[in-house]
A and B are shown apart, each in its own frame.
Chain A
Amino acid sequence: MTDKINDPVAVWQKMIGEMEKNFNAFATRAMESPEFSQAMNRAGGIAAGAQKQFGELMEKYLVSMNLPSREQMTGIAERLQVIEGQIGEIKSMLGQMSAASGRSPAGAAPRPPRTKKPPPEGGVQK
């Protein structure tokens, strides 16, 4: 086996690892300063404002093009999700009713009994 000290690939990987560690440590120190927080939040505030304005502009553009906006599309998605949710609930209720009557619903496996005990201390799990 080649010695790691003389393996150029291993040296390269070690160097990358060290660079990552050092850069992260350096960046962390810089980001802990109040000046960083101030600069970051100033930039973030401008970006958030710009995003809002752009969103409003886009909304007007879509209306003029007679196209549905994202909000309208998410409205439709929401209605679909509600329908899916209701189907899920109906399936769940049917499952409970079948379980109560001692029959398993079509396609559903019967639930196993809740009788499992933990293996003894030091024992092997089956």
Chain B
Amino acid sequence: MNAPAGLDLAAIPERIQAEVQRAIMRSIKGVEYFSTSGPTLGSTPKDVLLSRGTMNLLHYRPMSDEIYRVPVLIVMATTNRGYILDLVPGQSFIEFLLKRGYDVYMLDWTAPRPEEKSLRMEDYVLDFIPDCVRRVQADSGEQDVSVIGYCFGGVLSLLYGSIFSDGPMKNLICFTTPIDFREMKLFANFSDRRYFDVDRLVDSVGNVPPEMILSSFEMLRPASRTVSQIQLWENIWNDEFVKSYRMFDRWATDTLPLAGEYFRTITKDLMWDNKLFNDSMSVGGRAAKLENIKVPILHAVAEHDHIVPYDAAKHLIARIGSEDKEEVMLKGGHVSLVAGANAVKRLWPKLDSWLGKRST
């Protein structure tokens, strides 16, 4: 009997041996996986400058002998923890910025408590962010502040920047920030106003539970969780794969609840009425028009973003009033754009070259 064309018979015993070895390693590493915790995340040295309920302002200790004049404030998305930007040494965006000479602050969120269900969009945009900016100014001794917003942190930064257009924001960087919420098609369908009674939900549960937020993210790619577990089992012999899997899995499932009133506004103003895109958004009675933003802006979007599809983000740069504005599309997904091995090579150097010359 002849071997099929292209089949290397001599390589088969070697391949079988490798697979048997991997099978043994899987059993050993599988036991190890369940008996150990994952890598420590978010360990870059920092100080808490301000803590008010769900809001925390962190200052990371400089790692450079000389720093840029303008400090950087990162505004994290309200649904997730900020340690995605500070995974482990060598894969930490924060550490990268510190080593490149930036003075870094982060507005990070903890789970809003039941009594914080009444927090409104106004609290986030007109109180939390301005309060943090004031603290950054006081702590750094500088008037100018660059703002980086990730995902919905980008939306909050846009609202802040469009209302406080006279400063002190000097530069704005948005990562995967949606403005046209009609184009987030599945989220739009999940929250279809004909069937989704947001008032009933918020009035009955107060804060929107993290399980609900997590489910809605997972429903965007329902098979992916199962497949990633199969891939984990296949690669459990590979320490680097397992480390990476644990970091991202822990972060992805560590979803935060959303304050009820804030969620009500997001649903009604953004998901239903698409007010940011339609230029009719206001926060606390103050108009938030994107054209009011005149500072330099960089918008980084991901080619394969399934959470914020490009169609939902692509109009941002055109709507901004700035003359110095740029959109950059990079390979990767919603998370791999900002964190992990690919971000180290793609987004971070791009951001550094853009922001460095605007930070003096």
Listed in ascending order, the chain A residues whose CB lies under 8 Å from chain B are 1-3, 5-7, 9, 13, 16-17, 19-20, 23-24, 27-28, 31-34, 36-38, 40-42, 44-45, 48-49, 51-52, 70-71, 74, 77-78, 81, 84-85, 88-89, 91-92, 95-96, 99, 109, 111-119, 125
Q: Are B205 and A51 touching (Cβ within 8 A)?
A: yes
Question: With A and B bound together, what is the CA distance between A51 and B190 in angstroms?
Answer: 20
Contact A27–B223 (Cβ < 8 Å): yes
Q: B227 on the interface (CB 8 Å rule)?
A: yes
Can you pick out 9 interface pairs between chain A and chain B where the beta carbons lie within 8 Å of each other? A23-B222, A34-B194, A45-B197, A48-B200, A92-B50, A92-B139, A109-B62, A113-B66, A118-B357
Query: Across the interface, which residues of A come within 8 angstroms of B50, CB to CB?
Result: 85, 88-89, 92
Closest chain B residue, CB of each to CB of A22: B223
Q: What is the chain B residue whose CB lies nearest that of A30?
A: B222
A48 to B115, CA, bound (A): 18
Docked complex Cα distance between A40 and B141 (Å): 51
B124 to chain A, nearest CB (A): 18
Is B345 interfacial (CB 8 A cutoff)?
A: no
Within 8 A of A (CB), among B84-115: 100-101, 103, 113-115
Cβ of B231 to closest chain A Cβ, rounded Å: 8
B116 CB to closest chain A CB (Å) equals: 9
Known: A20-B224, A24-B223, A45-B201. 5 other contacts (CB 8 A): A6-B6, A13-B234, A74-B115, A85-B50, A116-B66
CB–CB A116/B101 < 8 A: yes
* CB-CB under 8 A for A113 and B48, given A31-B189, A74-B113, A92-B139: no
Binding site for A on B (CB under 8 A): 4, 6-8, 11, 15, 19, 47-53, 61-62, 64-69, 100-101, 103, 113-115, 135, 138-142, 185-186, 189-190, 192, 194-197, 200-201, 204-205, 209, 212, 219-224, 227, 230-231, 234, 352-353, 356-357, 359-360
Q: B11 — which chain A residues lie within 8 A by C-beta?
A: 1-2
Q: Are B47 and A31 in contact (CB under 8 A)?
A: no
Residue pair B186, A32 in contact (C-beta under 8 Å): yes
Q: How far is B227's CA from A17's CA once the two chains are assembled, in angstroms?
A: 8
Contact B7 A6 (CB under 8 A): yes
Q: Is there contact, CB below 8 Å, between B230 and A3?
A: no
Tell me if A16 and B230 are in contact (CB < 8 A).
yes
CB pair A92–B222 under 8 Å, yes or no, is: no
Verify A2–B8 contact, CB threshold 8 A: yes
Q: How far is the CA of A95 from the CA of B6 in the complex (A)?
A: 70
> Roughly how many angstroms separate A3 CA and B15 CA in the complex, as a whole number?
12
Q: Contacts A85-B51, A91-B47 hold; do A37 and B114 have CB atoms under 8 A apart? A: no
Q: Within 8 Å CB of B190, what residues of A?
A: 31, 37, 40-41
B residues less than 8 Å from A3 (CB atoms)? 6-8
- Cβ-closest chain B residue relative to A5: B6
Contacts of B114 in A (CB 8 A): 70-71, 74
In the assembly, what is the distance between CA of A78 and CA of B112, in Å? 10
Residues of A within 8 A of B139 (CB): 92, 95-96
Contact A92:B47 (CB < 8 A) given known A114-B67, A116-B67: yes
Contacts of A74 in B (CB 8 A): 113-115
- B-side contacts of A85, CB under 8 Å: 48, 50-52
Chain A residue nearest to B61 (CB atoms) is A109
A49: nearest chain-B partner, CB-CB: B204
**Which residue from B15, B68, B185, B196 sits with its C-beta under 8 Å from A7?**
B15
A23 to B186 Cα, complex, angstroms? 15
Chain A residues within 8 Å of B15, by CB: 2, 7, 9
Q: Looking at A38, A51, A118, which has the most chain B CB atoms within 10 Å of its CB?
A: A118
Residue pair B8, A112 in contact (C-beta under 8 Å): no
Question: Shortest CB–CB separation between residue A38 and chain B, in angstroms?
Answer: 5
In the complex the two chains form, is B7's CB within 8 Å of A19's CB?
A: no
For residue B101, give the distance in angstroms from its CB to the closest CB of chain A. 4
